Structure 1
Amino acid sequence: MELRDYLRIIRQQWLLIASCVLVAIAAASVFTLRATPQYQSTAALFISTPQSDGSAAYQGSLFSQQRVASYADLIKGKQIAQRVVDKLGLDESAGALASRVSASVVKDTVILNVTVQDSQPQRAQKLAEAIAQEFTVFVSELETTPGSENAPIKATIVDPATVPVSAVSPRPLSSLALAIGLGLIVGVGLAVLREMLDNTVKNTDTLREVSGAANLGSIFYDGKAAARPLVTQLDSHAPRAEAFRVLRTNLQFIDVDSDSKVFIMTSPLPGDGKSTTAVNLAITLAQAGQRTLLIEGDLRRPKTSEYLGLESKVGLTTVLIGKIDLDDVIQPWGDDGLHVISSGAIPPNPAELLQSRQMETVLDRLRRHYDVILIDAPPLLPVADAAVLARQADGAILVVRHGKTTKDQVVAAADRLHSVDAELLGTVFNRTPSKGNTGYGYGYGYGYAPSDDADILADASFTRSKRRAAPADSGQLPAAKPAPEMVAPAHDAVVGDHHIPSRSELGLDGDAAPSAPRAPRRTGQFEQVPTHLQESRDRTRRPQPPTEAASNAPAGPVDRDLQAAGPRGARTGRRSVGDFLSQDPGE
């Protein structure tokens, strides 16, 4: 692993690392609060020989340095501790006292420091002083040879023990720093271990590698998706809506030579978001003007009709068993021309119905009338329905959930498709985080949406009024009036409506015959129209008397179609779904 891999793991697993640090700090705080304060008192002894001449003093100094290392072990032994216990009348054993005594020798000197630790500062000072005094007597007794009155070496107290002012244990700051360090080490170690043991798909590179197919798009995680599952419930520049538009664009490059495409939307396991992805992709395709049909092919746990609020009792299963005609089960949804076939009653044998000859006939018939057909299929691994449908369609699009779907599940799903000679066209990475290494372009919708429409129109109206009020010699040109066809759209396209307006209906020929009144147009994005633009629109729509030349002019192909269809205002609306399906495909 490289350094950037560790940084990525720390960034992704920061919550685990922070939890470990907090636990370590909490443990250190509890230990500090519950620990009994300990005090230390130290006495210093000087080890020397009584010789006074030069050579003897030098030899005595070497002798003392050799002895002082041994004295450091003797002074913290049980024999000295027992003498102190007997002298002070303590109620503890010699071993307990010896465990709280420590000794050290100053390097290259004959100075011996003895330290005693106790919970009371005065008691620590008394114990250190008593141990130093008893050790001087012990050295004299130990070094005096039989028949001699004086010992060749002695220990002298040069720095008596004092009463300590502050406790040496616990130390809150030191304990806190130690806890933070240990917490970071443990947290980073656990994060790396978790990353190495984690088998889920967390980036597009891994997804492309294990699936063997291109990633068509990444759908952002939205915490409010459960309450607002459809893209029509979002702002047009929301990141999730923009992600589906990117997915729609990438989908156009699949099987570009085919006039009609049939895709199934599936996933390795339930809960990966295949149904919401299929619904929103179908809506986005219809918004782009493509003739789109969404089929609820999950005959075990149908969700599409629930999301769209459509009737699900009559649908695909009703057609497959021959109880109703295909024309009668297609339901229109929304204003963009999306058509939907719900699941119908849940059958006991979904796989047999989906692989029947009647299902092939239904798909062949629908291909002649739609540009894109999306089938929301069941998951691949639990049941065989999706594999059966994928073989009849042009291919499958696999929806993979970030951080939940494992690599083995993606491989197994791809193998399931390949085993029936079905093609995996691509993958959709669902519920990806808005920040990370799963792709790029996250957050594109944030801060890049246009300003408020009313503010734009108000600023434009103010600018045009200033230009009209500018003097002739100011060098400023008057504002150009917008073309009528740019101010008011001539018509609204609907699925199944092939009417092409003539120039007279558009109001572009002043000599043309007046057209029938237009139906009220749907509310658009910009509704606050400046006054002078509204006046220009009214002048453009005002009927003009026909001229003799225009009346005698031969009718073109488009005008003949208009005459056959009748005036636009006389049409009542869209044709029925049955008329749409019964028309000739080349129409």
Structure 2
Amino acid sequence: MGGPFTSLGPSGTRINVITVSPAGVPGTPVSPNTSMNLLLALLAGMGLGVGMILLQHFLDTRIRSEAHLSAISHLPVLARLRQIRDPQTQSLVVESAPHTLAAEEFRRLRTNLQFIDVTTDGKHSFQVTSAMPGEGKTLTSINLALAMAEGGTRVLLVDCDMRRPSVAKLMGLEGSVGLTTLLLRRASLEDVAQQWRDTTLDVLPAGSLPPNPGELIASDAMEMLFDQFTSSYDFVIVDAPPVNPVTDPVLINRLVGGILMVVRLNQTGKRELTQALRSLATVDIKVSGFALNGLPNEGSDYYGHYHTEPGEQANGRSRKRRASRSTSKRTSSHVDAA
């Protein structure tokens, strides 16, 4: 501590000043504290990142995973449909790429629906719908019908979306005559049902668009037609309109044995799906299950061994035969040596 000294203020007042400690140059900067600032910035960045993730999670209105779907409904997922690599040439993937995972999932869907059909009082028919347009219900209907017909089952695919029909266009068929033609009794089922190539699948387009689709679906004539469909075919697949925009699926329900709901990943809204399920539950309609659509088109190595192109399968069989002959020779030489 330094000694005291005296100084005079501006008015001549005597001021005693005592040095408490001598001033010195600091060895490190007092401010900014770089280490502390970096730590605070790191914590703030982590907190902001976590906050953004949580905010995105709570504000995200789309179904992004099967877990999101399970949180809305505990109904079974009957198939996990993969994205089609080239929709222009492979929209009918069961036929154009039959050895792919995408095609195999439609066969899985076929099998699951056949098990469910046991409990549908022998109607042997399902309508395929979705909460909103654009979720893949029509392509699901077509490929499901193709998969159903693979084993020689007599299948009828009915385009019952008389507001925005698209089955005939997607399959390259004549769409001016069809379901509405039958309802107006201007032709017979044999006249308007179109056989799909050399298969046991017949396709019934929607026909001319009527001004009153709901009334036609609710008519006794429609019920009589569906009785004819189920008696003439082993299985009937109905491409129905989406649930939320119109009430047609509710009206179609009395004509079929069950409902398949198509849900598209990253597109179907959680609120829209919840609304659709509630609309059906309000009138005591239970959905048979979901077809989860739009999964990434990538499979595990395990499945890759089973789903290959025909040429690859032939090569695999050749390799197996060569391996078998080689093993047989080695076994024979070992036996002879013994």
TM-score (normalizing by structure 1): 0.48
- Within the alignment, does 1:268 sit opposite 2:131 as a pair? yes
- Within the alignment, does 1:290 sit opposite 2:150 as a pair? no
Give the counterpart of 1:309 among 159, 172, 196.
172
Q: Is the 8 A contact 2:2 2:22 kept in 1?
A: no
Q: Give the drift of 1:314.
A: 1.3
- Within the alignment, does 1:277 sit opposite 2:143 as a pair? no
Q: Give the drift of 1:418.
A: 3.8
Q: Is the 8 A contact 2:131 2:242 kept in 1?
A: yes
Q: Distance in 2 between matches of 1:293 and 1:420?
A: 27
Q: Give the drift of 1:374.
A: 0.5
Q: Whose relative contact order is higher, 1 or 2, with alpha carbons under 8 Å and at least 6 apart?
A: 2
Sequence identity (%): 33
Cα 1:174–1:216, aligned 2, differ >3 Å: closer, same or farther?
same
- Within the alignment, does 1:189 sit opposite 2:51 as a pair? yes
The answer for the alignment partner of 1:50 in structure 2 is 3
Cα 1:224–1:141, aligned 2, differ >3 Å: closer, same or farther?
farther
- Within the alignment, does 1:398 sit opposite 2:261 as a pair? yes
Structure with the greater alpha carbon radius of gyration? 1
Show CA shifts across 1:192-222 (max 9, x none).
Answer: 0221233443444553564463322222344
Give the counterpart of 1:389 among 252, 255, 267.
252
Give the counterpart of 1:245 among 102, 107, 129.
107
Show CA shifts across 1:334-375 (max 9, x none).
Answer: 444221111111111111222222211221112122221000
Show CA shifts across 1:506-549 (max 9, x none).
Answer: xxxxxxxxxxxxxxxxxxxxxxxxxxxxxxxxxxxxxxxxxxxx
Paired letter, 1:427: F
Q: Distance in 2 between matches of 1:183 and 1:260?
A: 60
Q: Is the 8 A contact 2:102 2:297 kept in 1?
A: no
Cα 1:148–1:407, aligned 2, differ >3 Å: closer, same or farther?
closer
Paired letter, 1:337: T
Q: Distance in 2 between matches of 1:417 and 1:359?
A: 21
Cα 1:50–1:387, aligned 2, differ >3 Å: closer, same or farther?
same
Q: Give the drift of 1:312.
A: 0.7
Show CA shifts across 1:25-61 (max 9, x none).
Answer: xxxxxxxxxxxxxxxxxxxxxxx3238xxxxxxxxxx
Show CA shifts across 1:259-318 (max 9, x none).
Answer: 551111111111111111111111111123322111111111111112211111111111
Q: Give the drift of 1:421.
A: 4.7
The count of residues paired between Structure 1 and Structure 2 equals 329
Q: Is the 8 A contact 2:243 2:276 kept in 1?
A: yes
Tell me the SS of whatever aligns to 2:289: strand
Cα 1:403–1:456, aligned 2, differ >3 Å: closer, same or farther?
closer
Q: Distance in 2 between matches of 1:411 and 1:246?
A: 26
Give the counterpart of 1:232 among 81, 94, 99.
94
- Within the alignment, does 1:427 sit opposite 2:290 as a pair? yes
Q: Distance in 1 between matches of 2:313 and 2:301?
A: 22
The answer for the alignment partner of 1:361 in structure 2 is 224
Q: Is the 8 A contact 1:317 1:343 kept in 2?
A: yes
Cα 1:363–1:186, aligned 2, differ >3 Å: closer, same or farther?
same
Q: Distance in 1 between matches of 2:55 and 2:136?
A: 29
Q: Is the 8 A contact 1:211 1:410 kept in 2?
A: no
- Within the alignment, does 1:153 sit opposite 2:19 as a pair? yes
Tell me the SS of whatever aligns to 2:288: strand
Show CA shifts across 1:452-497 (max 9, x none).
Answer: 2342344356468779999x98748xxxxxxxxxxxxxxxxxxxxx
Q: How does 1:1-400 map to 2 (within 5 A)?
A: 48-50=1-3, 141=7, 152-153=18-19, 182-204=44-66, 206-208=68-70, 210-211=72-73, 213-222=75-84, 224-225=86-87, 228-232=90-94, 235-256=97-118, 259-400=122-263
- Within the alignment, does 1:455 sit opposite 2:315 as a pair? yes
Q: Distance in 2 between matches of 1:406 and 1:147?
A: 83
Q: Distance in 2 between matches of 1:351 and 1:289?
A: 34
Cα 1:351–1:443, aligned 2, differ >3 Å: closer, same or farther?
farther
Cα 1:444–1:422, aligned 2, differ >3 Å: closer, same or farther?
farther
TM-score (normalizing by structure 2): 0.79
Q: Give unpaired runs (5+ residues) of structure 1.
A: 1-47, 52-138, 436-440, 477-587
Cα 1:371–1:259, aligned 2, differ >3 Å: closer, same or farther?
farther
Paired letter, 1:329: V
Q: Pairwise CA RMSD of aligned residues?
A: 4.0
Q: Distance in 1 between matches of 2:15 and 2:244?
A: 99
Q: Is the 8 A contact 1:239 1:444 kept in 2?
A: no
Q: Is the 8 A contact 1:291 1:337 kept in 2?
A: yes
Tell me the SS of whatever aligns to 2:79: strand
Q: Distance in 2 between matches of 1:266 and 1:374?
A: 11
Cα 1:178–1:309, aligned 2, differ >3 Å: closer, same or farther?
farther
Cα 1:226–1:210, aligned 2, differ >3 Å: closer, same or farther?
farther
Cα 1:388–1:443, aligned 2, differ >3 Å: closer, same or farther?
farther
Tell me the SS of whatever aligns to 2:210: coil
Q: Give the drift of 1:394.
A: 1.4
Cα 1:261–1:187, aligned 2, differ >3 Å: closer, same or farther?
same
Q: Distance in 1 between matches of 2:172 and 2:304?
A: 30
Q: Give the drift of 1:156.
A: 5.5
Q: Is the 8 A contact 1:390 1:423 kept in 2?
A: no
Q: Distance in 1 between matches of 2:84 and 2:44?
A: 36
Paired letter, 2:161: D
Q: Distance in 2 between matches of 1:268 and 1:424?
A: 12
Q: Give the drift of 1:154.
A: 7.8
Range with greater deviation from structure 2 (338-347 or 227-236): 227-236
Paired letter, 1:367: T
Q: Is the 8 A contact 1:391 1:420 kept in 2?
A: no
